[in-house]
Amino acid sequence: MRTRRQQLAETKAAHNHPAYAKMAFVMGCGVQGEGKGSRVVDDERGTPYLALFDQYGNQSFGYSHPRVVAAVREQLDTGVLNSTKIMFEEVQIRLSARLAEATGQRLPYSYLANGGGETIDNALKLARAATGRPGVISARGCFHGKTFATLSASDRPEHRELLGPFMEHFRQVDFGDLDELAAALDDTVAAVLLEPVQAEAGVIVPPPGYLQEVRRLCTEAGALLVLDEMQTAFGRCGTFFAYEQFGVTPDLVCVGKAFGGGVLPLSAVLGTKEVWEVLRVLPSTFGSSLGGNPLSCRVGLESIAIASDEAFLTGVKERARTIDERLSAAAERHCGIVAEHRGLGMMHGLEFTDGATAGFVLGRLLEEGVTSTYSLYHANVLRVQPPMVISEADLDQGLSVLEGILAEADGTGTASAPASAEGLPAAELSPVTRTVLLPYPPADVLALLHSRPRLLDPFAADSGSPAAAGRAPEFAGRLGGDAVVWADRTELLDDGVRASAEADWLWHTLERRATVTAAPGGSRLDARVTWDTDSGSYEDLLGGRIGFLAGSGLDALITALTAELAAQGRKSADT
């Protein structure tokens, strides 16, 4: 019988996002329920998850922040919920003034919208209008959204192949390379578009002095500096805007995500008086049907109030030090699996040596009730970016769980895996294989496997029960601690058994095979699990989780099989 979780996963795969449905299910994500602070309840199991990640900045203030919830209720009670677009909307006007105040009036103008891509588009329109130039320079590895303009700025090969051709006049330079930027800054460039910290590239922090030099080069070339602070603003890096950390002021800055308090869509582009001149010349340059509606704006005011509070920012800096110190120490202890630790403020990443290890760690975190994720364009990087309101006790708990899992991945957690060239345990990907020599005749081992063909199936919910060969339309499977159902076929072979899943929303292919052959002194047992989830670039990440489940499951089953054969041998000897 399908669990509620599987029903939701199958429906999501059928009608929304197949790859993400598969990823969430395999990794062990539960059904989202009520959230408070840094914890959210699994609505199916009733157990809480502790967040070491804030959903790409959206939950920077945690789940259901009481001040945000109160602001929503307060605005609902006023009855002022809808935007007329022609009358003076007080809460929206107050929000624009408050944003200007947050910049020290250096960027006194703003335009409100719903999401990040929409606002980045607005910033690029402003830049072209203000300079009369078409060109945009961005940094390789950047992420600015999913509109055509922002995808053109990111210029990912996989997106270009599927969605191209992209828009003209976009080009890229390496993040941190001033010489390449200087060479690219000619009189056709309207804007240089950068993230102060590249989140989805793997939490890449700029070299010292980089943004200051970018500011100088832009000014000299007559180009605008546009900073995308969707993930870094509202205190994430220790100051309200991350650009304050680097001693620069951009011509345009884009904010969102945390701006809506985690409950409503809200974004904005902020700019100088000079850049805003286009709205005098062509007032209809921008438009957003529901952007800047009264309810969102009331929440935006509260988000600014929370993030500009000195006590809040002090707490962010204190927790940032804790994260930095502990992740730096963990990366040094586990240098065999952690290639690098990077971060700024409460925004950090652990880059693993391979995607399988990242998948193993991510899956184990979820097993232990801790949420995290990977960088969108660097799946080897585990994100550690908890809600900024996380308590010291919760942060200690989450980091302690992570440290324990890193120790597993670097030692006992994958000890059964084949050794790498350095002698360290390597994460397992398809196929997962095990070979054991048994001091029993092949006929005895085969008879046992044929009587219970699931005996060496690490994905069977009950591997020890007798099962008829053939097709099982609702095979009772298991992924870690999670029950799952799929159509599966079992075959009895002359030299062993084979089980194969039918292609569906979860598996493209999955085969478990056990083969028995004669060997000196007894028999040789070969167990093999192969799979393909058809997940493209996520295959290694998912494979790290599946490989761990297959490998640890096989080890336990082979141990149990060996013990049962030994018991049978003793019983025969007694009789």
Which tokens belong to 67? 């001040």
Show the low-confidence residues of the chain (pLDDT under 50): 412-425
pLDDT tens sequence across 468-525: 889 999 999 999 888 999 999 999 999 999 999 999 999 999 999 999 999 999 999 9
Q: Where in the chain is the domain with CATH 3.30.530.20?
A: 432-572
The pLDDT score that the predictor gives to residue 574 is 66
- What lies within 8 Å, CB to CB, of 77 at 6+ separation is none
Instruction: Give the position of tokens 């192949």.
Output: 161
Report the DSSP beta bridge partners of residue 513. 498, 528
- Write down the CATH superfamily of domain 432-572: START domain (3.30.530.20)
Contact present, 91 and 80 (Cβ < 8 Å): yes
Please count the other Cβ atoms lying within 10 Å of the Cβ belonging to residue 542: 25
Instruction: Give the position of tokens 């001091």.
Output: 439
- What lies within 8 Å, CB to CB, of 91 at 6+ separation is 75, 80, 294, 297, 298, 301
CA distance 225 to 348: 25
Cα 96 → chain centroid? 32
User: At the topology level of CATH, where does 66-301 sit?
Assistant: Aspartate Aminotransferase; domain 2 (3.40.640)
One-letter amino acid for residue 380 of the chain: N
Please choose, from the candidates 347, 352, 340, the residue with its C-alpha nearest in 3D space to the C-alpha of residue 323.
347
Contact present, 346 and 385 (Cβ < 8 Å): yes
The pLDDT score that the predictor gives to residue 425 is 43
The CATH class for the domain spanning 35-54+312-410 reads: alpha beta
Cα 383 → chain centroid? 7
CA distance 433 to 551: 8
The pLDDT score that the predictor gives to residue 173 is 98
Q: Where in the chain is the domain with CATH 3.40.640.10?
A: 66-301
Task: Give a three-class secondary structure readout of 70-105.
Answer: HHHHHHHHHCCCCCCCCCCCHHHHHHHHHHHHHCCC
Report the DSSP beta bridge partners of residue 437. 524
DSSP 397-423: HHHHHHHHHHHHHTTGGGTTSPB-TTS
Instruction: Give the position of tokens 């000619």.
Output: 186
The pLDDT score that the predictor gives to residue 575 is 60
CA distance 267 to 233: 11
The two beta strands, 432-438 and 378-384, are unpaired
Q: Where in the chain is the domain with CATH 3.90.1150.10?
A: 35-54+312-410
CA distances from residue 384 to 71, 255, 334 in whole angstroms, order as listed = 29, 21, 17
The pLDDT score that the predictor gives to residue 573 is 67
